[in-house]
Structure 1
Amino acid sequence: MRLGIYGAAEEVTGSLYLLEHDGRRILIDCGIFQGQDEDKKNSEPFPFDASTIDAALLTHAHLDHSGRIPLLVKRGFRGKIYATTPTLELCEILWRDSARLMQEEAEWKTRKNKRKGLPPVSPLFTEEEVDKALEFFAPLSYDDIFEIVPEIKVRFRDAGHILGSSIIEVWIGKESVKLVFSGDLGQQITVLDRSPAVINDADYVIIESTYGDRNHKSLDDTRNEFASIIEESLRDRSKILIPTFVVDRVQRLLYELTLLQEKGILSGDIPIYFDSPMGVKTTRVYRKYSSLLSSEVQDRILRNLDPFSPRGLKEVITPQESKKINDVSFAIVLAGSGMANGGRIVHHLKHNLWNPRSHLIFVGYQAEGTLGRRIIDGARFVKVAGEEVAVKCKAHTIGGFSAHGGQDDLLAWASNFKTNPVFLVTHGERKASNFLARELKKIGFEALVPQRGYEVLLAHGRPTVERKIEALAERPFKDLQGIVKDMDILLASLSDVLEGVEVAEDMEALLLSAKVLLEVANQRVATKMEVAQSETKDNYPSSTF
């Protein structure tokens, strides 16, 4: 009985967990990586044979949790894909859009490569793989227990993150070892979605930590901040650009703009361009499943008030319509992607970043390596669509609209567990994950921050977690990278244990000895590389002139 953590470890994207028991193999999430080295990470082989996976469970539709499922199918997966019905409908929309964008990008890169005499580029997956993946969809309802394969039962609970999002409870084996995968958790006080379900028992909890080191502003403070920024932006009478995630965030913004109009802060005469065909589709899904949203939203719908349709809203579908927005000097523009690393927001940024009167409002997490992150980190110049552009617009960040819970929300949810489970803290940058782990320890839980590739041996009621590290004798002699990987895990574990602890003299001597051995190994590898390079150079045939 084993859990492998192969993504979203000390980073926010690429969620991927493999659960193994008695010859059965179940995936929980299979998301894309976003940000730094995303192309390399997304295209590398899975750490398992896709054809051996019996089933996949999806916590929700966001691409960093679901986006590599079509690639999994491309590489041989033929099992069931379990999720709530709204999640599966949203996945189809997101995957088709991703396939289209990847195809366009691959064609563009292929044209460039052809001029350089380089080979063509293939997309990560195509619409054909998306169509195939849809055949394996298997919807599950909230709160009911299902046996998906022999001796593995699951239950989906509302995570309060986006429409259809789930916390997944998993029971394994005759001993009923229980794991709880938090997925992405919403805030305790919500607007569009319901509060995360309360769960009391588990042996292991895999908890997200996107905002594990900080809290959001209160709802009132967030709304006041948004109103203040909108008022300031309106005085400049220029473009107001809002990069949006097309699932949940854009629906929340449409609702908040509706409230500003009702308060008289935002005039209905100011055009609001909803420049996202995919966002238009996802908003229809939100309307379709409004019974799963908050009572605040349902109350409006009962009174025939559309929460997602402020006055002046213009849905922009075609590329030509999108380009015409460049001719409009004063408007609010909502466009994907939320991290500004693709989608129609890119060309709006290219035409407006340089303008000191324009405003740019980020309303969600910006991963390392994305264009959005570079802008909020203060870059004076950024490359947009292949062109260097000066950043002179006024940039704002509002964290309170996040669909993720802040630190206090995560701790409040975790404190409901009464069985003293082991917490594995994932889905957060290293600082955020470590901070949340320390806070969990303060309230009496054992908490670990795994690295990518970390494996956990599972057993009922265990107070500790074992790492699966093979003895050197079991390894091929040349598996040096595997040895280094295990050393990396051990070093991370030591770092967690030693933090704030006074080290005894004998332990200090051991660590210094290990440091010396690593330095010797490093020097020997460097020397061998120099010798190899020298031999290659000596054996290379001389050019004749």
Structure 2
Amino acid sequence: MQISFWGAAREVTGSCYFLEGEKQRFLVDCGMFQGRGEHRNEQPLPFPAQSLDFVILTHAHLDHSGRIPLLVKEGFRGKIYATAPTIELCEILWLDTVKLMQEEADRLNRKRKRAGQELVEPLFGEQEVREALSLCEPVGYDQLMRHGETEFVLRNAAHILGAALVELWCSGIKLVFSGDLGPFDNVMEGSPPVIEEADYVIVESTYGNRRHRSLEDTRSEFKEAVLSAQSGGGKVLIPSFVVDRAQRIVYELSLLKDQGLLDLPCYFDSPMGEKATRLYEKYLSLLSGEIERYVLQGRNPFHLSGLKYVSTPEDSKSINDIDRALVIAGSGMCNGGRIVHHLKHALWRENTSLIFVGYQAQGTLGRRIVDGARLVRILGEEVAVRAKVYTINGFSAHADQKDLLRWTDYFKNQPLFVVVHGEESVAEQFALLLREKGRETLVPHFGERFDLVARETVAVPSEKTVSVSQRFLEGIMEEVTKLQEEIADLDQDTEALVRSAYLLLREATRRKNKAL
């Protein structure tokens, strides 16, 4: 039996693990790439979709679920196993993704038509989403499932609503996929489960190099940021993932409101976010003790007094006419969604406050702002960053280094820990910490294939190809994406640079073809 790593290998997004035995071929997750390298979503799948028997989905976040409709488009017709909340959240997220992709395709095609260029199509459409949903089979937590020679159980990963880690047995081998693990001191979803034995543990490492602030310190930091921003007299913008993080922020704002500290008109600018919030209200029994205690007091943790949900584009734009307000909007990394319009309108104002409450992947607008960019391009315009920027990391739904080490310490035997879902330096650092504890580790490369019986790598792209050529090409694609929509507006000097880059790339292609 072999496993191949087709995403989240030395990077955070694109989770996709392909397992192949003598009788079965299946996936654990099939996510989208986000930020740097997102152009890989357009590349052919590295395996025939129609040959897959089934998919196990850990949770609904797009970097774990987002390419499943593409699998269907390419011919997959097997079962998709996930918890009921995950399936319902996927419907919301996938349909919203279809809408955004179609809008982007329409925008691009208007320009391409004028330029006489070939038109582009979205990665998938609503039909593929509906077909994918029809293949989903809900699985309860701790319910033993069997598909052919494979048995598995989904455990509550304490990450987002419905998130699961996977215990899986196949060909006499036990694997544990952490999915995305939540912290042990968790406000929303409780604590991750203790597992004591496995042959292989595929473990995430998003925050494997750092520790979050304590809950008390995080709440204090958030309160100070909100109160400081509130006193600034302008807009308070909170980019947020609209599943779980936004609900957590609404709850934290409710606590501030209960203390009489919040005095701003508040808007949740996301139709998808409203739907997700209704799901959280539906599944309150799956949430943590703190949330349950709040409910027992006769209060709704996700009902912020005075909060207005914004649905239509017209209502969203009307917020621009309001001088003083708090606005929660997606996306959490500012790489799309309605937050982008709010940033374009307000980021250049000195009385604006921007509060980041989640991870910002490399290559995203949010990451560039967090890294200190003073000028950013938003919707085709250069916008100065004059807003006051706050970064609150303690709200993360991911376990930090301390919690990841605590979770791995529970394994009493000596599994091989396969470290994934972390930027390369972070994954390597976390693997080193595990090795210092006497654990055996592997940090796989993209496309690496590992034999689970022989316990050895059987195929891996060359280090040169992965570490140099591929990374440079991904960086080039990222820069092209930034430039291509506004190519007609470039000044003469920049056009000359683009022309030179084109000639150099053409020469590189010529030399490669000659070498072949």
TM-score by length of 1: 0.85
Other-structure match for 2:495: none
Displacement of 1:37 in angstroms is 3.2
Matches within 5 A, 1:1-400: 1-38=1-38, 40-148=39-147, 150-173=148-171, 175=172, 177-267=173-263, 270-400=264-394
Q: What amino acid sits opposite 1:271 in the alignment? A: P
Displacement of 1:488 in angstroms is 4.8
> Equivalent residue of 2:418, what SS?
strand
The one-character-per-residue Cα deviations of 1:19-62 (angstroms, maximum 9, x if unpaired) are 11113111000000000231x20010111000000000110000
Q: What amino acid sits opposite 1:165 in the alignment? A: A
> Equivalent residue of 1:368, what SS?
coil
In structure 2, what is the Cα distance between the partners aligned to 1:433 and 1:225? 28
Cα contact 1:363–1:399 (8 A) shared by 2: yes
In structure 2, what is the Cα distance between the partners aligned to 1:490 and 1:32? 19
> Equivalent residue of 1:468, what SS?
strand
Displacement of 1:151 in angstroms is 1.4
> Equivalent residue of 1:298, what SS?
helix
Change (3 A) 1:11 1:528: closer
In structure 2, what is the Cα distance between the partners aligned to 1:490 and 1:336? 32
In structure 1, what is the Cα distance between the partners aligned to 2:113 and 2:174? 53
Displacement of 1:466 in angstroms is 0.7
In structure 1, what is the Cα distance between the partners aligned to 2:13 and 2:161? 19
The one-character-per-residue Cα deviations of 1:440-480 (angstroms, maximum 9, x if unpaired) are 11112111111100111012xx7xx31113xxxxxxxxxxx
Matches within 5 A, 1:425-444: 425-444=419-438
Cα contact 1:451–1:489 (8 A) shared by 2: no
In structure 2, what is the Cα distance between the partners aligned to 1:82 and 1:154? 10
> Equivalent residue of 1:7, what SS?
coil
> Equivalent residue of 1:199, what SS?
coil
Displacement of 1:303 in angstroms is 2.8
The one-character-per-residue Cα deviations of 1:250-302 (angstroms, maximum 9, x if unpaired) are 000000001111222213xx211010100000000001011100011112223
In structure 2, what is the Cα distance between the partners aligned to 1:449 and 1:193? 28
The one-character-per-residue Cα deviations of 1:201-224 (angstroms, maximum 9, x if unpaired) are 100000000000001000000000
In structure 1, what is the Cα distance between the partners aligned to 2:372 and 2:466? 36
Cα contact 1:437–1:448 (8 A) shared by 2: yes
TM-score by length of 2: 0.90
**Structure 2: gaps of 5 or more residues:** 469-506
Q: Would you say how many aligned residue pairs link Structure 1 and Structure 2?
A: 477
> Equivalent residue of 2:159, what SS?
coil
> Equivalent residue of 2:6, what SS?
strand
> Equivalent residue of 2:128, what SS?
helix
In structure 1, what is the Cα distance between the partners aligned to 2:513 and 2:153? 56
The one-character-per-residue Cα deviations of 1:155-181 (angstroms, maximum 9, x if unpaired) are 0001000000001011002x2x00000
Q: Aligned residues: percent identity?
A: 54
Q: What amino acid sits opposite 1:109 in the alignment? A: L
Displacement of 1:486 in angstroms is 3.8
> Equivalent residue of 2:100, what SS?
helix
In structure 2, what is the Cα distance between the partners aligned to 1:76 and 1:409? 40
Other-structure match for 2:504: none
Displacement of 1:309 in angstroms is 1.2
The one-character-per-residue Cα deviations of 1:48-78 (angstroms, maximum 9, x if unpaired) are 0000000001100000000000011000100
> Equivalent residue of 2:174, what SS?
strand
Larger Rg computed on CA atoms: 1
In structure 2, what is the Cα distance between the partners aligned to 1:424 and 1:192? 27
Q: What amino acid sits opposite 1:134 in the alignment? A: L
In structure 2, what is the Cα distance between the partners aligned to 1:186 and 1:36? 24
In structure 2, what is the Cα distance between the partners aligned to 1:178 and 1:303? 43
In structure 2, what is the Cα distance between the partners aligned to 1:229 and 1:490? 41
Change (3 A) 1:327 1:443: same
Change (3 A) 1:530 1:442: closer
Other-structure match for 1:496: none
Change (3 A) 1:310 1:85: same
In structure 2, what is the Cα distance between the partners aligned to 1:488 and 1:168? 33
In structure 2, what is the Cα distance between the partners aligned to 1:374 and 1:9? 23
Displacement of 1:530 in angstroms is 5.5
In structure 1, what is the Cα distance between the partners aligned to 2:119 and 2:76? 26
In structure 1, what is the Cα distance between the partners aligned to 2:319 and 2:391? 23
> Equivalent residue of 1:373, what SS?
helix
**Structure 1: gaps of 5 or more residues:** 470-481, 493-525, 534-545
In structure 1, what is the Cα distance between the partners aligned to 2:379 and 2:65? 26
In structure 1, what is the Cα distance between the partners aligned to 2:202 and 2:239? 30
In structure 1, what is the Cα distance between the partners aligned to 2:345 and 2:385? 11
Other-structure match for 2:476: none
Displacement of 1:431 in angstroms is 1.2
Other-structure match for 1:505: none
In structure 2, what is the Cα distance between the partners aligned to 1:278 and 1:468? 43
Cα contact 1:382–1:390 (8 A) shared by 2: yes
In structure 2, what is the Cα distance between the partners aligned to 1:226 and 1:273? 18
Change (3 A) 1:488 1:417: farther
Displacement of 1:419 in angstroms is 1.3
Cα contact 1:454–1:489 (8 A) shared by 2: no
Other-structure match for 1:498: none
In structure 2, what is the Cα distance between the partners aligned to 1:83 and 1:435? 31
Q: RMSD value over aligned CA atoms?
A: 1.9
> Equivalent residue of 1:142, what SS?
coil
> Equivalent residue of 1:274, what SS?
strand
Q: What amino acid sits opposite 2:40 in the alignment? A: K
In structure 2, what is the Cα distance between the partners aligned to 1:203 and 1:527? 44
Change (3 A) 1:104 1:218: same
In structure 2, what is the Cα distance between the partners aligned to 1:323 and 1:317? 11
The one-character-per-residue Cα deviations of 1:473-529 (angstroms, maximum 9, x if unpaired) are xxxxxxxxx8xx24559999xxxxxxxxxxxxxxxxxxxxxxxxxxxxxxxxx9995
The one-character-per-residue Cα deviations of 1:300-358 (angstroms, maximum 9, x if unpaired) are 22332010111220010111110000011111000000000000000000001100110
